[in-house]
């Protein structure tokens, strides 16, 4: 029986999931496993890695059955824009120490520039909602020790 890949994007996405899953299990192999009642540091990455391998195998198997559109050209603008946005977030948080809110604002604004359809009012509304939600969750609920602004 001969296998024929009908959806290259599903096939390569499945291989990517399998690769990340195997990588997670390899990295976690030196950590103590523990048990289900007392999980060690290796428990979570090992089982998440195993789940990624299973999901990758299912997605790759689906590529033999379902016809896909094919892989198009590389989207360079989002790739570079998102990398710059993550870099700016790290620099604003760590190097410049401006705080959590300016770092998130830089991340959201630079990420929105990666697309072609973003409007100023949408970015402003999205920034307000995401910053309020992230500050509420990470700073107040989880009590992470990040200052909101450079003066605090």
Structural domain spans, the chain: 8-62, 76-141
pLDDT attached to residue 6:
83
User: CB count, 10 Å around CB of 99?
Assistant: 18
Query: How many Å apart are CA 52 and CA 9, to the nearest integer?
Result: 17
pLDDT attached to residue 5:
81
pLDDT attached to residue 1:
59
Which segments within the chain are labelled E, that is strand? none
pLDDT attached to residue 29:
92
pLDDT attached to residue 73:
84
pTM score: 0.67
Specify whether the CB–CB gap between 147 and 99 falls below 8 A: yes
Per-residue pLDDT of the chain (152 residues), as tens digits, is 577 888 888 999 999 999 999 999 999 999 999 888 888 899 999 999 999 999 999 999 998 888 877 777 888 999 999 999 999 999 999 999 999 999 999 999 999 999 888 899 999 999 999 999 999 999 999 999 999 999 87
**What does the longest C-alpha to C-alpha distance in the chain come to?**
68
The string of DSSP letters for 86-111 reads HHHHHIIIIIS---HHHHHHHHHHHH
The H or E element spanning position 36 is none
pLDDT attached to residue 135:
95
């Amino acid at each position: 029986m001969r296998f024929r890949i009908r959806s290259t994007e599903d096939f390569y996405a499945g291989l990517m999931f399998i690769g990340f899953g195997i990588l997670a299990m390899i990295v976690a192999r030196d950590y103590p496993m523990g048990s289900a009642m007392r999980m060690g540091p290796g428990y979570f990455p090992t089982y998440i890695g195993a789940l990624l391998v299973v999901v990758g195998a299912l997605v790759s198997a689906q590529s033999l059955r379902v016809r896909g559109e094919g892989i198009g050209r590389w989207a360079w603008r989002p790739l570079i824009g998102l990398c710059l946005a993550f870099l700016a977030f790290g620099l604003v948080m760590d190097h410049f120490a401006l705080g959590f809110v300016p770092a998130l604002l830089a991340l959201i604004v630079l990420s929105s520039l990666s697309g072609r359809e973003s409007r100023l009012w949408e970015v402003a509304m999205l920034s307000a909602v995401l910053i309020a939600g992230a500050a509420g969750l990470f700073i107040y609920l989880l009590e992470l020790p990040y200052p909101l602004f450079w003066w605090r």
